[in-house]
Structure 1
Amino acid sequence: MSTKWRKAKVALGLNLCMYVPGTHDDFSPSLDADGRFSDASTVSPVAGKSDSDHSTATSQIPSSSGLRFSKVGSRSSKKTCAICLRTMKPGHGHALFTAECSHAFHFHCIASNVKHGNQVCPVCRAKWKEIPVQGPSSDLIHRKARINSVDWPQDDAWMTVLRRLPTVRMDSPRQIPSIFHSSEPSVFNDDEPLDPQPELLEKNSPAKDAENSYAETLEIKTYPEFSVLPSSACHENFTALIHLKAMFTRMSTNNTTLPISNQTQCAPVDLVTVLDVSGSMAGTKLALLKRAMGFVIQNLGPSDRLSVIAFSSTARRLFNLRRMSDSGRQQAIQAVNSLISSGGTNIAEGLRKGAKVLEERKEKNSVCSIILLSDGQDTYTVTGPSGANPKPDYQSLLPSSINGGMGCQIPVHTFGFGVDHDAASMHSISEASGGTFSFIEAEDVIQDAFAQCIGGLLSVVVQNLSVGVDCLHPGVHINSIKSGSYKSCLSSDGRGGSIEVGDLYADEGRDFLVSINVPTGHAGEKTALLKVGCVFRDPISKEVVNLKAQEVTIQRSENVGGCVVSIEVDRQRNRLQAAEAMAEARGLAERGDLGGAVSVLENHRRVLSESVAAWAGDQLCIALDAELKEMKERMASRRVYEASGRAYVLSGLSSHSWQRATARGDSTENTSLVHAYQTPSMVNMLARSQTMPLGGPSPSPPIRPGRAFLPSPQPR
């Protein structure tokens, strides 16, 4: 036994240095500050336990080398697998794996651990030079590997495969001190200066003619509910659709549409990620979070800036807002890999510090956003007068800058991780700030969820978009504007209205329904009902653009047979009504009436199937029906609803209210509805995430969409 401990100590002593990749090829996003996958092997928390409970159960004892050992791990023996805690005996149908540090495990247990990025011994924390990889189905089988030549037992169909790990660079920087004990400035005005290159490109760009340069930046279309109405009839609730789409093309001077191919200029981003590193994140969760952050870091461009806030019982800024140049990426990866998990969950403090980074920066990129991830309930909320700890009201706890107090709103895109997070609070944060809420049910899709989000953030082509609606006919008045979570208002006389839309990603659309009254008319005349105009800011040139207004018109006729409903209008009406049914069902479920909630969802599925768009085979109707069915199944019992139903419904409501893609359940592709809001940039970033080899380097940053200011063709 003493010999084995000496081997473990030697292995630990050789791995006290940080491994930082020198190039993209050396990048391994799951490595931590010691060249190990920090906390990746700690036993995962038991479902239902709080962070404080878990921290007590897996309290860590510091060793002389500054490393941490799990009490759970120290009790394991050669006859018990330290991962599943079950007996290990040859001949029981499970292959056994004995590591170079002499500790043994079930092969399928340790192979699964390695698959999620853990390359250290769960017992002694020694870094392995060779790791077990599961058989032919593994995505690592195509890499350089060899069959284990040592005579380890193989009692079943598992094939023991080992992959040799890269040698740790001994000249790398030393381990970063604990992030919660390092010094931190009182004012976050130490952000790295902006990249001057975009300004240089802008100055050298050809002169921009508003009509040519912006004609295809934003597309406006309008659709009346009926294109022809009887002249003698009046309608009290006539619906008009406003369709907006940020385009991915530009019009040249000869009126031909040119795709963007060579131009990579796009609005740079200031991104702050606020990450939960409480005790419940220990183990595979933290390892996968580090890997996901590695993907984000590798896919930000040199003009984009990133800062990372880690929070548990308190919050700490890991590094200042800095550009993701080659050196910036290395430093960011090093800082993220230094994360360890412990303590409770103080979401409000993490948000406060994340907002502080953006509030106090000296220079500002055109686009800014916060990404918040948490897997637990907030344990540090404000207490009430009676000493009770009520549900947190994040509407009031959010910093004023996030709510628009600094003149612009900072969207917070929240990610509820696992079944124990507070979905209602995370959804409340996103709604209050103008962000989206995503539900990450399965641990291994966290990177895909992040990829989809940053795919959008890196493709902003329209900012501060505002839509104005005015009545043209003297007898027309606006009854209501259906705009989801977007702020809308009506004039006191009902003759005008507006919608504050904000930012649009490349190829992203928005649809709004306006209800008006239509008076009688004269046969044969064409009646202009509404005028729709848009104002927005170009994120590259900073110019304010006024687009030519579009009109909503109808034809009046003496004799009209059956009025044909516009498929476009009916499709969007179905979307809004489905969202209303989801909200109603959620309200019933929260009050304990799951039967009533299921009945609401089932009734709306029937109504949806009888709509004009459904009869026409509309894909959005099919996707809405599938989503309603999924929600009904997740309300089958109180246990299922508490575990995943509530979060699934809230992520769906967030997606519909903002008309933006969110992660749902255990995948970002679990229903075709996701594709109704996904943009090409999101799809491309998802593809990069899903094809990136486990533990391998990420490809070079993708070409980002933007509007190309192409020179006018020269005369022949």
Structure 2
Amino acid sequence: MGRLHNLLLLLVCFFSTLLLAQVMSAAAGMAAVKVSTTPIFSKIPRAQTTKDFQVLLRIEAPPLVDLKGRVPIDLVMVLDVDVESVSLEPVKKAMKFAIQQLSDKDSIAIFGPSMSREVIPKFMSIHGSRRVAEKKVDELEGRRIAGPARSSLDEALKMLEEQPASSSDGRAKFIVLVTDGEDITRFNSGMPEWFTAALAKYPVHAFGLGASHDAAALRLIAQRSHGTYSFLDDGNVDKVASALALCLGGLKSVAAVGARVVLKAASGSGVRIDRISSGDYASSVSQVDGGASGEIVIGALYAGEVKSFVVHLYVPAAPPALRTVEGVCCDQQQLLVASLDGQLYTSGGVDVDDAAAPVDLVVERPNAAVLVPSAIVVNQIFQFSVLKMFDTFIDKEILHRTPVTGWNDVDVDDLGRKLLARWEELVLEHQFWVGLDLGSLDGEITAVANSLSKQYIVGTAYIFSWMSSYKMQRPTAMGSPANVVGVFVTLEVHLTLQVAITLPESGGDEGECHECEYTCEKQLPPAPPLLEASGHDGSSYRLNAAYEGVVSLDDINQFMIKIYQGMVKANNLKQCQPRAVA
């Protein structure tokens, strides 16, 4: 039955993806990353000097159906689980699920706990070796002797560093770390120089299992490697596969590698880049040219992802005669040029050319103007203000506490109240901002504070995971795979998660498919119809009972909404605004 459920779900996903591909292909002749800039004000009075002129910078990757493929990946999985505290079966099940999700062009390496037998210490191509990799997973051993989890990660990083430079051409490398370990506090201080340098090259997506894992250490690893941090609480440690799906959905849909946003102030304008708000993505402003240039390093960009940053500019008063620039009118001024460098995947492979054409930021410079802020820019600025407030709270209220100073004396109710008080103060400070919309933030932050009020250790893991999601603008599991920031879930992540949810409970071979078995598989019966008539006249229908528990009407509705949106975009349709009544 597990195999039938998986097949039915995959058929629905495949059917929906095909329909989406058809309507989206008409909307985009050639896939490309879209770069756009939106100024806080579309006009700046000519004589006005603005010391902090905010610009929203958005990077939008094309959907996977437009790319007709994706960048191959080299995945390293590091597992360090204590057999006395966590069952290995859900972890092995998740490992096999990850192997099944990889394509033939991908490769995998697996490291178990230190002092255990080797698993796959070097990269092994998935092509023709999927079953071998799964059998190696069956040989995985748990941690039986107390030791630092860092040893396994050390070995993984050393292996990656030994790879020839050419092995990274047109490929993306990632590390997935799954641990329940307590004894990894060495991450918090005294990292060797080589370790820190290597960590910055390879994103580590860290998953903490249960209340005993060191959330602060895993958060630090994720931050320094520009990866993500997720955790599963004690009630959800058996849902490792679903938690990994939130990450795997992105890893197996990489659209570009080496993505880097290049910013240049318009020549002769006197404009300079002051700073860049980019979350946990590395950004810099050149001091050599006085702030005339800057960059944001994204690295791997997943299909369907949208990245939002805020660039802060110093804009001087405009000269009497504005500099003539092609495509810019006499009362307009060019302030900034943004472009994206990197290797974008196309149907023929990885293209080494620029991933997106340069985009000019142009504003009007009239003698006088009524300034109306852009709501989308206002809300992105506020979001970064929230993250800054959380960073301050974490530094003052959480990180100074260690197992030595003790957690038992922490008043968790007081910490939760403090966080809510800081949030309410921030909202009051910005209550008069035109266009501000709190959206889901109020509910999310209330949930974070409530978690902190219930239990300090779980609450801090919740805060770290929520912050990781917003700073990397990617989904993370916050105690449970069902608890995610929905705005960062792409279509590929959603589909991967749905497949993970339907995995057999046994964790055995039921429902698993191997490339060597396809030719000897018996012919499957035809799939039952999705809808069946429910009335005698055939005018009404209902969901076929065979799909109950596999596909819900809500899933179908969501797919149809995406298909409809694609059709609207493909036909270049616009919503007409109602005419005003005289």
TM-score (norm 2): 0.71
Q: 2:487 matched to 1:676?
A: yes
Residue identity over aligned pairs, in percent, reads 26
Q: 2:319 matched to 1:502?
A: no
The 5 A counterparts of 1:516-665 are 516-521=313-318, 525-538=331-344, 540-545=349-354, 547-561=356-370, 563-590=371-398, 591=400, 595=414, 598-605=417-424, 607-608=426-427, 618=437, 621-636=438-453, 640-642=455-457, 644-665=458-479
Q: Cα distance 1:329–1:497, how it changes in 2: closer, same or farther (>3 A)?
A: same
Q: Rg: which structure is higher?
A: 1
* Partners of 2:52 and 2:313 within 8 A in 1: yes
* Partners of 1:651 and 1:664 within 8 A in 2: yes
| Alpha-carbon distance in 1 for matches of 2:179, 2:147 | 8
Where does residue 281 of structure 2 map in the other structure? 486
Q: 2:503 matched to 1:692?
A: yes
* Partners of 1:235 and 1:517 within 8 A in 2: yes
| Alpha-carbon distance in 1 for matches of 2:285, 2:161 | 32
* Partners of 1:314 and 1:346 within 8 A in 2: no
| Alpha-carbon distance in 2 for matches of 1:504, 1:373 | 23
| Alpha-carbon distance in 2 for matches of 1:375, 1:351 | 14
Name which structure has the greater RCO, CA cutoff 8 Å, separation 6+.
2
- Counterpart residue type for residue 697 of structure 1: G
Where does residue 272 of structure 1 map in the other structure? 76
The CA RMSD over aligned residues, in Å, is 3.2
Structure 2 runs not aligned, ≥5 long: 7-27, 322-329, 401-409, 516-582
Among 286, 296, 303, the alignment partner of 2:98 is 296
- Counterpart residue type for residue 199 of structure 2: N
Where does residue 374 of structure 1 map in the other structure? 179
**Deviation of the 1:216 alpha carbon:** 3.6
- Counterpart residue type for residue 694 of structure 1: E
Among 246, 250, 253, the alignment partner of 2:61 is 246
Q: Deviations over 1:498-534 (max 9, x none)?
A: 2222110001121111111222346981121111122
Q: Deviations over 1:627-679 (max 9, x none)?
A: 21112112326xx112x111111112222222222111223x325xx222222
Q: Cα distance 1:691–1:349, how it changes in 2: closer, same or farther (>3 A)?
A: same
**Deviation of the 1:275 alpha carbon:** 0.4
| Alpha-carbon distance in 1 for matches of 2:513, 2:378 | 43
Where does residue 219 of structure 2 map in the other structure? 427
| Alpha-carbon distance in 1 for matches of 2:94, 2:292 | 49
Q: Cα distance 1:612–1:677, how it changes in 2: closer, same or farther (>3 A)?
A: farther
- Counterpart residue type for residue 497 of structure 2: L
Among 136, 148, 159, the alignment partner of 1:346 is 148
Among 47, 52, 55, the alignment partner of 1:237 is 52
| Alpha-carbon distance in 1 for matches of 2:118, 2:193 | 18
The 5 A counterparts of 1:403-418 are 403-404=199-200, 409-418=201-210
Secondary structure of the structure 1 residue equivalent to 2:178: strand
| Alpha-carbon distance in 2 for matches of 1:656, 1:396 | 29
Q: Deviations over 1:527-579 (max 9, x none)?
A: 21111122112353352326321111222334433x22112211211221111
- Write out the 4+ residue segments of structure 1 that deviate beyond 6 Å after TM superposition: 612-615
TM-score (norm 1): 0.59
The 5 A counterparts of 1:44-55 are none
Q: Deviations over 1:159-207 (max 9, x none)?
A: xxxxxxxxxxxxxxxxxxxxxxxxxxxxxxxxxxxxxxxxxxxxxxxxx
* Partners of 1:480 and 1:514 within 8 A in 2: yes
The 5 A counterparts of 1:390-401 are 392-393=188-189, 395-396=191-192, 399=195
The 5 A counterparts of 1:352-367 are 352-361=154-163, 364=167, 366-367=171-172
Q: Deviations over 1:567-622 (max 9, x none)?
A: 2211211221111122122223224686467434433246448858998685xx32
Q: Cα distance 1:698–1:557, how it changes in 2: closer, same or farther (>3 A)?
A: farther
Q: 2:237 matched to 1:446?
A: no
Secondary structure of the structure 1 residue equivalent to 2:192: helix
Where does residue 41 of structure 1 map in the other structure? none
Among 248, 253, 262, the alignment partner of 1:459 is 253
| Alpha-carbon distance in 2 for matches of 1:416, 1:397 | 25
* Partners of 2:119 and 2:137 within 8 A in 1: no
**Deviation of the 1:391 alpha carbon:** 6.6
Q: Cα distance 1:272–1:606, how it changes in 2: closer, same or farther (>3 A)?
A: same
Structure 1 runs not aligned, ≥5 long: 1-23, 29-211, 250-258, 382-389, 702-716
Q: Cα distance 1:670–1:223, how it changes in 2: closer, same or farther (>3 A)?
A: same
| Alpha-carbon distance in 2 for matches of 1:699, 1:609 | 56
Q: Cα distance 1:525–1:551, how it changes in 2: closer, same or farther (>3 A)?
A: same
**Deviation of the 1:372 alpha carbon:** 0.5
* Partners of 1:585 and 1:598 within 8 A in 2: no
Structure with bigger helix share is 2
* Partners of 1:348 and 1:397 within 8 A in 2: no
